[in-house]
Amino acid sequence: MADEKVAKPHTWQEAFKILGISWNSDGTLKREIQIPMVNATPSVTDPKNPPVALSTDIQLSPKSEAYVRLYIPVNPPTNTKLPLIIYIHGGDFVLFSASTVIFHEFCNNIASQFPALVVSVEYRLAPENRLPAAFDDALNAIFWVKNQASFSGGRVPWLDYADFSRVFLLGSSAGANIVYHTALRALDFDLRPIRIRGILLNQPFFGGAFRTPSELRLIEDPYVPLYMCDVLWSLALPPYANRDHEFCNPIAGGFYLGRVPRLPRVFVKADDGDPLVDRTTQLVQLLKGYKVPVVYEYNQGGFHGIETQNKTVAQSLFNAMKNFIYSTRVTYDEESHASF
């Protein structure tokens, strides 16, 4: 039996204060974000202190503010194409941006270490834009990559280095939730000439109407306490949806559950010290039950978002993800799953 702790009484006001948000009079959120946002670095301006990767912001449509931040190694190889990774940042669906420094540096390290091209997606936030808005934005980023691969409307020169037959979707926390649902939605479309070979879910942010043992064991977790998750899901889910809606609880059923057997290879990372770890294990069991190839990195200890604070853990995660991406070879069996 889990070492359950009694939940303390909490209020929305307390959650809002910790999250650094408050209501505006028009029903939108005021976000007093403490984590800095940084500009892209499209060139080396200081040869004595060069960036580990280059980046540039690309507007997806003149009719909207949607953009992606594209990353490339400072010295990309000239004799081989690089895998392309579409990255979705975390932030509980409510906070942060592709330009938030922790996610910017995360993508810099991926681009330089793997090496790879990274397309980091700026998606709309809740509650101004409730789910599935973020899923739609991620899917539109995939369509943009498809158009780049087919030279539709021209191509960003950096993408000449991309191997469009090796595209991966990667997300952290809420970003991993978005990646999972976007991958299922993408199965509706012919994405050729690109091929999505795998998805990577780092500590995915899921929930449900009933508490799991890990949620009860870590109910007052300092990083993702249950009362805060409750508030965030109330802000993110469609109006009147409960916590067993498929956007929150992917194993509860829903419209997309039948598509799970068609998913490509999946990398999943979880930590025992994360209240969401049982949700992640349940998802892994679901995937394996449908015979989806899964690599499950389960770590003792840890906590939600540990890679943003611990460089050793971050490096271990980079190594594991790099191994997953560069070891992904489509066999006859996997081809039946990788049907994008």
Question: Which residues belong to the active site?
Answer: 173, 274, 304
Distance between CA atoms of residues 232 and 253, nearest Å: 22
Q: Which residues, 6 or more positions from 167, have their beta carbon under 8 angstroms from its beta carbon?
A: 83, 84, 85, 86, 145, 194, 195, 196, 197
Q: Which two tokens stand for residue 329?
A: 């070879």
Amino acid at residue number 12: W
Distance CA 282, CA 244 (A): 14
188 secondary structure, DSSP code: T
Long-range contacts (CB closer than 8 Å, 24 or more residues apart) made by 316-320: 317/202, 317/269, 318/109, 318/110, 318/113, 318/114, 320/267, 320/269, 320/295
Question: In whole angstroms, how far apart are CA 76 and each of 79, 162, 229?
Answer: 9, 10, 41
CA 264-320-174 angle, to 5 degrees, is 65
What DSSP string describes 228-241? HHHHHHHHHSPTT-
